């Protein structure tokens, strides 16, 4: 989609706000034109080329009256213009978030979080700035008042007008030719800026590690280098824009100079008055200012286009219209209650079949190839294998957190078309290997929006063996866990994530290596309580002997393939690899 189409869609979201902004700007931008007329009458009267008026003093105070009107309009228009611009940026960010929430969870962002934030912040701002009174709306209004101004000039002296306006045409051609470059420079400078924010984001997610390594100064040094690259690109970007703007501004003076040259003869003969000169000098400046506005508009259009592309890139394969879709913002109306998905009788898990499931990471080519297995209600299926054998990838591809490239998943014999939205509570729930908590209370982290009245919070906390920890916390479940849950220990984070899963009471529980941060005693208790819950069906990654022995079936993975399926005794007899895994942990 062409950038201007997107802008039009964005403007059409709240047409009345746009109309109010436009009207205000027309009034504001016509004021100098009015003042030019006042100045003309004043100097004509003063120099005696018009009958000396007693109303000269009236003319002298007229500017105050004209400006007062402008002030009133300005005062009234500011909140409208703020609201209009905010609405556009809110619409863009809402649409982006909405698209990202629909993407496979483990591959939702093409880059780092910091990089995504830079697109959410700077690129959305750039587009909103363009589609606002500050840029495109005022530019159109300026065009209207420039037309009025030009008309007045033509009326006074057509010949001088044409000569004065001629350089402006040249400027337009320059601006058009420079468009490509503007886009290129902006692109580079935005990329360099995103590297800096991306790096900052990463730095502040690994503070303890950096401190332990004593790398504070080195990190700052790296940031300086990235900053230097950013400076070079940013200066190039804005200098080029400045150069163009300077060319536009210069034309005002060029125009005044030409008026001087051409008017020299007429002024001597008295056909071009001092008042006319004052008006032309002021209006040529206005028109050059308008050329500047057009030039700026073309430049910021290119730059805005870059930002649109960057936002689109964040959304990868989402349709181009999605970015400017007219979605409700709920800025003054409450968000509608979510219609909670309830389990249909035919959705009750009997049998889950996975057939030839394949996902390979595009950069490394590793992943899962042709995974096939079946699990049934009330059983425990454990996936095991060495590092890099594809265990986590298999879980993610199954749940639609990674877009499977081949194969199929059947739930009770029916094909699952959209695993990403199907494998959610009440169907399934999942804890990744490194769970993420949010800066909120422990309770909010467990519930994640689930209404408290509908949830067995205490039960979930108990099942996750978290009750003692909660009792030890100052504010119990109301304790703030800090950014990424740093106020809790690694094991507490993992069990909070488990409680998050239990409270949803799904048909299928999926764990990716729950045990890595838990001691044996706590983990055993957790599995014990899990088994005590009625009819739980689990799919888990683990290499703990106790879990492997309790498993109804084990998938042994190696180099992205399911090497063998069986119970612990079967695999023990048949696979050296499995023996190494099981006994490796025992013999130390």
Partner 1 sequence: MSIPLTQYWRLLRRYLRPQGPKVLLLGILLLTGIGLQLYYPTVLQRFIDQAGAGTPGLRLLALAALFLGLAIANQLLALWATYLGQEIGWRATNELRAELTEHLLGLDLSYHKDRTAGEMIERIDGDVTPLANFFSAFVVQVAANALLLAGVLAVLYTVDWRAGLALSGFAALHLTVLLRTRHSAMPGWQASRQASSQFFGYLGERLAGLEEIRANGAEHAVRLGFVQALRTRLQAELKAGRGMAIMLVVSFGLLAVGTSTAFGVGLALVRAGAISVGTAYMIFFYTEQLRRPTEQIVQQMQDLARAGASISRIGDLLAMRSTLAVHGEGAPLPDGPLALAVDRLTFGYIPGVPVLENLSFALKPGEVLGVRGRTGIGKSTLARLVARLYDPVGGSIRLGGVDVRSVRLADLRRRVGVVTQEVQIFRGTLRDNLTLFDATVADSRIWAALDELGLREWAASLPNGLDTELASGGGLSAGEAQLLAFARVFLKDPGLVILDEASSRLDPVTEQRLEQAIDRLLLGRTAILIAHRLSTLRRAGQVLSLQSGPEEVVAG
Q: Which residue has the tokens 């790096």?
A: 199
* Residue 352 C-alpha from the chain's centroid: 36
Closer to partner 1 by Cβ: residue 260 or 415: 260
> Given candidates 15, 51, 79, 569, which one binds partner 1 under the rule CB under 8 A?
79
β partners of residue 385: 557
> Given candidates 66, 140, 156, 322, which one binds partner 1 under the rule CB under 8 A?
66
Site string for partner 1, 168-207 (x = CB under 8 A): ----------------------------xxxxxxxxxxxx
The least distance separating partner 1 from the CB of residue 2, rounded to whole angstroms, comes to 28
Backbone angles phi, psi at 516, to 5 degrees: -65, -25
The least distance separating partner 1 from the CB of residue 250, rounded to whole angstroms, comes to 5
> Given candidates 8, 12, 331, 573, which one binds partner 1 under the rule CB under 8 A?
331
Closer to partner 1 by Cβ: residue 277 or 301: 277
The least distance separating partner 1 from the CB of residue 45, rounded to whole angstroms, comes to 9
Question: What is the DSSP secondary structure assignment for residue 507, as one 8-state letter?
Answer: S
Q: Is 120 in the site for partner 1 (CB under 8 A)?
A: yes
Q: How many CB atoms lie within 10 A of CB 55?
A: 11
Which of 542, 480, 553 minimizes the C-alpha distance to 512?
Answer: 542
Q: Is 399 in the site for partner 1 (CB under 8 A)?
A: yes
Beta-carbon-side half-sphere exposure of residue 117 (alpha carbons within 13 Å): 11
Our CA dihedral for 135, 140, 141, 146, rounded to 10 degrees, sits at 110
Instruction: Determine the angle formed by the axes of helices 158-203 and 138-156, rounding to 10 degrees.
Output: 160
> Given candidates 40, 188, 190, 230, which one binds partner 1 under the rule CB under 8 A?
230
Which of 415, 393, 397 minimizes the C-alpha distance to 406?
Answer: 397
Closer to partner 1 by Cβ: residue 8 or 52: 52
CA distances from 211 to 404, 411, 436 (A): 39, 48, 21
> Given candidates 183, 289, 305, 491, which one binds partner 1 under the rule CB under 8 A?
491
Kindly determine how many residues on this chain lie close enough to bind partner 1 according to the rule CB under 8 A. Answer: 185
The least distance separating partner 1 from the CB of residue 166, rounded to whole angstroms, comes to 14
First to last CA, the chain: 62
Closer to partner 1 by Cβ: residue 319 or 451: 451
Stretch that binds partner 1, among 141-149, 177-185, 513-521, 527-535 (CB under 8 A): 513-521
Q: Is 469 in the site for partner 1 (CB under 8 A)?
A: yes
Question: DSSP string covering 148-177, please?
Answer: HHHHHHHHH-HHHHHHHHHHHHHHHHHHHH
CA atoms of 502 and 429, how far apart (whole Å): 8
β partners of residue 415: 410
> Residue 585 corresponds to which tokens in the numbers above?
């942990």
> Given candidates 2, 8, 55, 60, which one binds partner 1 under the rule CB under 8 A?
60
Closer to partner 1 by Cβ: residue 340 or 414: 340
- Strands 553-558 and 351-360 turn out to be unpaired
Stretch that binds partner 1, among 6-14, 143-151, 301-309, 359-367 (CB under 8 A): 359-367
Q: Is 370 in the site for partner 1 (CB under 8 A)?
A: no
Q: Is 240 in the site for partner 1 (CB under 8 A)?
A: no
CA atoms of 431 and 498, how far apart (whole Å): 6
Closer to partner 1 by Cβ: residue 106 or 298: 106
Q: Is 409 in the site for partner 1 (CB under 8 A)?
A: no
Closer to partner 1 by Cβ: residue 3 or 327: 327
The least distance separating partner 1 from the CB of residue 12, rounded to whole angstroms, comes to 20
Site for partner 1 in 527-556 (CB under 8 A): 543
């Amino acid at each position: 989609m062409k950038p201007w189409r997107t802008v039009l869609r964005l403007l059409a979201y709240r047409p009345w706000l746009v109309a109010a902004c436009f009207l205000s700007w027309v009034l504001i931008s016509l004021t100098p034109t009015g003042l030019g007329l006042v100045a003309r009458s004043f100097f004509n009267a003063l120099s005696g080329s018009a009958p000396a008026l007693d109303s000269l003093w009236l003319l002298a105070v007229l500017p105050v009256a004209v400006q007062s009107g402008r002030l009133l309009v300005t005062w009234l228009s500011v909140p409208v213009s703020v609201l209009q611009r905010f609405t556009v940026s809110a619409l863009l960010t809402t649409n982006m978030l909405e698209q990202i929430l629909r993407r496979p969870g483990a591959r939702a962002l093409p880059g780092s979080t910091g990089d995504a934030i830079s697109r959410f912040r700077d690129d959305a701002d750039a587009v909103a700035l363009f589609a606002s009174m500050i840029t495109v709306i005022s530019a159109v209004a300026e065009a209207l008042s420039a037309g009025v101004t030009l008309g007045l000039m033509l009326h006074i002296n057509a010949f001088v007008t044409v000569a004065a306006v001629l350089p402006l045409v040249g400027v337009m051609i320059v601006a058009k030719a420079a468009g490509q470059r503007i886009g290129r420079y902006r692109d580079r400078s935005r990329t360099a800026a995103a590297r800096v924010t991306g790096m900052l984001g990463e730095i502040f997610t690994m503070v303890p590690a950096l401190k332990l390594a004593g790398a504070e100064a080195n990190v700052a040094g790296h940031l300086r280098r990235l900053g230097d690259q950013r400076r070079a690109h940013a200066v190039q970007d804005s200098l080029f824009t400045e150069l163009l703007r300077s060319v536009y501004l210069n034309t005002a003076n060029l125009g005044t100079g030409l008026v001087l040259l051409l008017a020299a003869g007429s002024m001597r003969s008295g056909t071009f008055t001092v008042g006319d000169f004052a008006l032309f000098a002021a209006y040529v400046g206005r028109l050059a200012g308008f050329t500047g506005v057009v030039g700026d508009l073309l430049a910021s259009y290119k730059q805005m286009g870059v930002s649109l592309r960057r936002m689109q890139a964040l959304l990868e394969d989402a349709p181009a219209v999605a970015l400017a879709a007219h979605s409700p913002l709920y800025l003054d109306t409450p968000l509608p209650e979510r219609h909670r998905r309830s389990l249909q009788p035919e959705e009750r898990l009997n049998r889950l079949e996975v057939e030839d499931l394949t996902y390979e990471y595009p950069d490394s080519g590793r992943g899962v190839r042709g995974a096939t297995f079946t699990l049934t209600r009330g059983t425990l299926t454990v996936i095991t294998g060495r590092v890099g054998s594809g265990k986590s990838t298999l879980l993610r591809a199954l749940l639609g957190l990674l877009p499977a490239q081949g194969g199929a998943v059947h739930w009770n014999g029916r094909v699952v078309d959209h695993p990403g939205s199907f494998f959610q509570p009440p169907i399934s729930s999942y804890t990744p290997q490194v769970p993420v908590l949010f800066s909120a209370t422990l309770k909010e982290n467990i519930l994640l929006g689930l209404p408290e009245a509908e949830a067995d919070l205490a039960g979930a906390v108990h099942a996750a063996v978290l009750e003692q920890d909660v009792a030890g916390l100052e504010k119990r479940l109301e304790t703030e866990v800090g950014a990424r849950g740093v106020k809790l220990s690694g094991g507490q984070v993992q069990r909070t994530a488990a409680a998050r899963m239990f409270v949803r009471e799904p048909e299928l529980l999926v764990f990716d290596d729950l045990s890595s941060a838990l001691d044996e005693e706590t983990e055993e208790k957790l599995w014990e309580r899990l088994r005590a819950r009625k009819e739980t069906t689990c799919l888990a990654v683990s290499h703990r002997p106790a879990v492997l022995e309790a498993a109804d079936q084990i998938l042994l993975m190696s180099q992205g393939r399911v090497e063998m399926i069986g119970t612990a005794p079967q695999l023990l007899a048949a696979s050296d690899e499995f023996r190494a895994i099981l006994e490796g942990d025992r013999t130390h």
